[in-house]
Amino acid sequence: MSCLLSHIPMATRTRSIFLLGACLALASAIGIAQSQESKPTIRRHQVEESAPEDPNAVLLDQAETAMQHGDFATAEVALQKVSAAKPEDYRAWFDLGYVYNATRRPAQAIDAYRKAVAAKPDVFESNLNLGLLLGKQGQTSEAAKYLKAATQLKPSAAPDEGLSRAWQALGRVEETSDAHAALAAYGEAAKLTPKDPEPHLASAALLQREKTLDAATAEYRTAVDLDPSSGDALNGLINVLIEQKKYSDAEAALRKLLAASPRNNVANTQLARVLSAQGKNDEAAQELQSGSHDSSGDPQAAFQLGTIYQKAGKNAEAEEQFRIVVQKQPRDPQAHYALGALLMQEKKFEESQRELIAAINLKPDLAEAYGNLAVVAAANKNYGLALRALDLRAKYSPEIPATYFLRATTYDNLKDMPHAVEYYQQFLAVDDGKFPDQEWQARHRLIAIDPQHADKYRIKGTK
């Protein structure tokens, strides 16, 4: 949205009103930083003036000139004089509201805008700015009151665009208490600016949170159609389709987008995700390798890429991505766990042990890490650590055949035969043929270390 308001020459017996504050606040409501603005620009708003030489009018002009040059201190002094002399002058209060907001004094800005609205209730920009500021302060109920008033008034410039932003701002504050009213507000915004994807994105995100997924999908599709380059719209659409497990729809939409924009790495990565979700891991890895992916600055993207590579059996590529995540987010237990589990697969047991211990230190209730740690500790002949890891795992998850077998082999390596016999026996009691190779090993070890009961361990018909 453009916030440049053109100059209109001052006519005889008229004066200007500084309305850039409304424009800047409006821009901030849709994510445009005030720092992106260059000099403020004055919008001339025609107001009848009884005496051009009125000293208050002169002070107002001086204040607005100072505001135009970013000299808020000078402007504030002049505006305070005018508001003290003429407390019914909405224009002075409006300009003061802007000055206070620009100098990060929201409480004083709100008070000034209240007085501007009280003095002249039918000014769109006063109601809008007051509503926006109240919303930012969490005063959503009162913010809605002024934003609703703004939607019924006429902006000084770009009326459809201005009203659309007012409806969107109203939708955002209504979301906290009334999803239906918020959706209605976003719908009004979309009618006013039919080529703007933002109202559809806002509706889609709210519908997704409300688990109205078909409607959310329709809104995301509209946003993508309006702006095919929108990462938010694309990610939202893919995420909601994945949530619905409509993987083929997601894949078809992404392939269509990539046909038109083959260098779109966002879409390329999303397609890999969708392929992976369908179990097409080799295709997912090929899709990633066909693009130019630099995830070094984005740990979330690196984690996602690493997961897809790992599923596809591309362990070297997966390891590279997980190492990026650990480097960027050293306090993330899931990153250390993912890297540690992969290193275990690669039989890099010493490194794996370090990463798994790091994960557990950061998140002591990470149950799945204890089982892996027991495996790599045993591989490293650190049998005491393996048993401690198994004991800690048992606090969070029940024993399974694999943990009984690992306990048995660990005690066996420690030459603690009574405990080895006990856990080999427990393994055989619960395994029920799931791990035939380990059953064979358990039976033969029991025959060797508990010979007096050898016949009990032999399968009938064997010696």
pLDDT of residue 56 exceeding 60, the answer is: yes
Residue 14: strand, helix, or coil: strand
pLDDT of residue 115 exceeding 90, the answer is: yes
pLDDT the model gives residue 291: 67
Q: 9 falls in which pLDDT band (50, 70, 90)?
A: very low
Closest CA to 16 of 65, 69, 61, 58: 61
Select from 149, 168, 191 the last residue of a domain: 191
pLDDT the model gives residue 208: 96
Give how many domains the chain has, as a whole number.
2
Q: pLDDT digits over 139-198, tens only?
A: 999 999 999 999 999 999 999 999 999 999 999 999 989 999 999 999 999 999 999 999
Which tokens go with 234?
Answer: 């694309």
**Residue where the block lists tokens 């018909």:** 461
Select from 136, 171, 191 the last residue of a domain: 191
pLDDT the model gives residue 228: 85
CA 150 to chain centre: 30
Q: pLDDT digits over 354-393, tens only?
A: 999 999 999 999 999 999 999 999 999 999 999 999 999 9
Select from 191, 208, 224 the last residue of a domain: 191
Beta bridge partners of residue 14, listed in sequence order: 48
pLDDT of residue 49 exceeding 80, the answer is: no
Q: Which range marks the domain in which residue 428 is found?
A: 398-463
Share of the chain above pLDDT 70, in %: 86
Q: 405 falls in which pLDDT band (50, 70, 90)?
A: very high
Lowest mean pLDDT among 8-22, 220-234, 424-438: 8-22
pLDDT the model gives residue 269: 82
pLDDT the model gives residue 294: 64
Q: State how far the Cα of 375 lies from the Cα of 368, in Å rounded to an integer.
A: 12
pLDDT the model gives residue 455: 87
pLDDT the model gives residue 15: 39
pLDDT the model gives residue 418: 96
pLDDT of residue 449 exceeding 60, the answer is: yes
pLDDT the model gives residue 298: 79
Beta bridge partners of residue 224, listed in sequence order: none
pLDDT the model gives residue 53: 66
pLDDT of residue 100 exceeding 70, the answer is: yes
Average pLDDT (338-363) is 98
Q: Domain for residue 461, yes or no?
A: yes
**Residue where the block lists tokens 């000084």:** 156
CB 309 within 8 A of CB 332: no
CATH classification at residue 121: 1.25.40.10
Q: Domain for residue 321, yes or no?
A: no
Q: Domain for residue 240, yes or no?
A: no
Q: pLDDT digits over 252-280, tens only?
A: 888 888 887 888 877 888 898 899 889 99
Under 8 Å CB-to-CB from 241, ≥6 apart: which residues?
217, 247, 249, 250, 253, 274
Share of the chain above pLDDT 90, in %: 71
Q: Domain for residue 52, yes or no?
A: yes
Q: At 11, give phi and psi (nearest 5°).
A: -80, 170
Longest dimension (CA), the chain: 119
Lowest mean pLDDT among 156-160, 170-174, 217-221, 454-458: 454-458
pLDDT the model gives residue 4: 28
Average pLDDT (205-210) is 96
Q: Domain for residue 232, yes or no?
A: no
Sign of the Cα torsion 454, 410, 366, 240 reads: negative
| More confidently predicted of 47 and 271 | 271
Q: Domain for residue 309, yes or no?
A: no
Say what the pTM is. Answer: 0.60
Lowest mean pLDDT among 173-182, 224-233, 269-278, 295-304: 295-304
Which tokens go with 393?
Answer: 């795992």
